[in-house]
Amino acid sequence: MLPAATVHFCQNCGPSDLATLHEELAASGLSDAVSIVERGCMNGCASPVSMAMQGPGRATYFFNGVDPAADAEDIAATLRAYLAAPDGWIENAQPCGRLRFCLVGRVPALSC
């Protein structure tokens, strides 16, 4: 079964230790719904760390300037809002904390 959301981190500019984020997702009850992966360069080098969120039938979000450890709570809050939003389109980013200021862009889900 596919996760409801996948969070991608740039491994070139990004974290090698995602333990704090994994702990936060477990404490938030999101571990089973979210997959965390590291990918090659995500072309956000000017403001590391780059992070993207996506899921089947959901919008894709791209963030820069994310600290996976320090922002773990805000990442979890953003994922809760993302999973609760129809098609992953977050209308109110207030619960996302600092991450709402790191957002570079969002792309609507593909219509098939």
- For residue 19, the one-letter residue type is A
Which of 83, 40, 29, 94 is CA-nearest to residue 61?
Answer: 83
- pLDDT band at 6; cut points 50, 70, 90: very high
Selected residue with higher pLDDT from 61 and 112 = 61
5 φ, ψ (degrees, to nearest 5):
-150, 150
Tokens 């996948």 correspond to 6
User: How high is the pLDDT of residue 68?
Assistant: 94
Structure tokens belonging to residue 52? 């993207």
Predicted structure pTM score: 0.93
User: How high is the pLDDT of residue 17?
Assistant: 78
Q: Is 15 left (phi over 0), alpha (psi -120 to 50) or beta?
A: beta
